[in-house]
Amino acid sequence: MSILKLDRVSYRYRSNTPMVLQDVSLQFESGHIYAIVGRSGAGKTTLLSLLSSLTAPTGGTISLNDQNIAKIDRYKFRSQYVGVIFQNFNLLPHLTAVENVVLSMNISGKKFDRKEKEVALSLLEKVGLSKEEANRRVLQLSGGQQQRVAIARALSYDPDMILADEPTGNLDLETQKEIMNIFKMLAKEGKCVIIVTHSPDVAKNADFTYELKAAASSKS
């Protein structure tokens, strides 16, 4: 059963500009990794923004568990329903890795069995960061480590769906593999992982690949 469904979704930035996405209909299921590929300007990042409710489609509907996400508070949607991993990580540099994760947990408003910091540390450990690294400010971490923090932050409130924008774009091959392994692990745990990427290697590791073409998409 599909967790996320796009039905004839269209988008344009302004009324007098051409369509970036037109009549895109896609379905995503839990427990799988999806790769969205396409040439630059095909609308991959725009699609991710629509899926994470950072913006709203100009046509069509996006449904999460058969509920139109337009009817869900966009802040609630982003803080509880979907975990977003941004291309540039978008971590708060004045906070430590663990503080970034805890802040996300706080914003979600979710209650935890253990102390939030303990949960955050275990999440960071899960994605490969030591306790010492977890207590460093994010600017003192490498790109790969920052990406892990971003993943841990996206997982912090245990969403059903993970959206990642070029998660391996700035990383070396070894780290790319490690990150992909984390995504595979998450998929195995039953989460739906949607990755926007240019990388053929990442696409190979996905269960399904959607290719976006100019104002269209095809599944392979």
Partner 1 sequence: MYLFKNAFKSITRNKLRNILLGIIILVIAVSSCVALSIRQAAVLSREDAAQNMTITAQITFDRQKAMEEMGGPQDGQETGTDGKPDRSRFDFDVLQGSSLTLDEYLSYTKAQQDGDSYYYSGAFSLDATGDLLPYGTEEEDSSSGQQSASGIQNFSSASGADGPEMPGQAAQGRIGETGGDMPGGMGGHRFQVNQGDFSITGYSSYQAMTDLFRAGGSYSITDGELFDESSAEYDCIISSELALYNGLSTGDTIVLCNPQCEEETYTFTICGIYENENAASQENNRFAINDPANAIYISYPAAEAIVSASEQAGNTTTDQKGEETSAALKNTLAFTYTFSDLSHYEAFSKKVYDLGLDDDYTVSSQDAESFENSMIPLDTLSRTAFWFFVVLLAAGGVILITINILNLRERKYEIGVLTAIGMKKTKVALQFVLELFAVTFTAVIIGGGIGAALSVPVTNTLLENQVESASEEQAKLSENFGMKPDGRGGNGDMGRGENPRMSNGFSGESPAAQYVSSVTAATNGTVILQLAGVGLLLTVISGLAALISIMRYEPLEILSNRT
Question: Side chain identity at 137, as an amino acid letter?
Answer: R
Rounded to the nearest 10°, the torsion over CA 97, 123, 153, 205 is 120
**Could you say which of 5, 44, 153, 191 contacts partner 1 (CB under 8 A)?**
153
Helix axes 116-126, 97-108, angle to 10 degrees: 120
**Could you say which of 19, 72, 95, 214 contacts partner 1 (CB under 8 A)?**
95
**Could you say which of 80, 145, 199, 217 contacts partner 1 (CB under 8 A)?**
80
Q: How far is the CB of 17 from partner 1 (least distance, A)?
A: 15
Q: How far apart (Å, rounded) are the C-alpha atoms in residues 200 and 182? A: 18
Residue closer to partner 1, measured from CB, 93 or 218: 93
Segment lying near partner 1 (by CB under 8 A), choices 2-10, 74-82, 177-185, 205-213: 74-82
**Could you say which of 27, 58, 65, 87 contacts partner 1 (CB under 8 A)?**
87
- Helical H segments across the chain, by residue range: 44-51, 74-76, 97-108, 116-126, 131-134, 143-155, 173-188, 200-205
* Residues near 78 by beta carbon (within 8 Å), at least 6 away in sequence: 52, 53, 54, 84
Q: How far is the CB of 163 from partner 1 (least distance, A)?
A: 12
Contact mark string toward partner 1, 187..216, x via CB under 8 A = ------------------------------
Cα of 21 vs its chain's centroid, Å: 19
Nearest alpha-carbon partner for 218 in 32, 30, 41, 42: 42
**Could you say which of 34, 35, 49, 183 contacts partner 1 (CB under 8 A)?**
49
Interface with partner 1: number of residues (CB under 8 A): 24
Interface with partner 1 (CB under 8 A): 49, 54-55, 75-80, 84, 86-88, 90-92, 94-95, 103-104, 106-108, 153
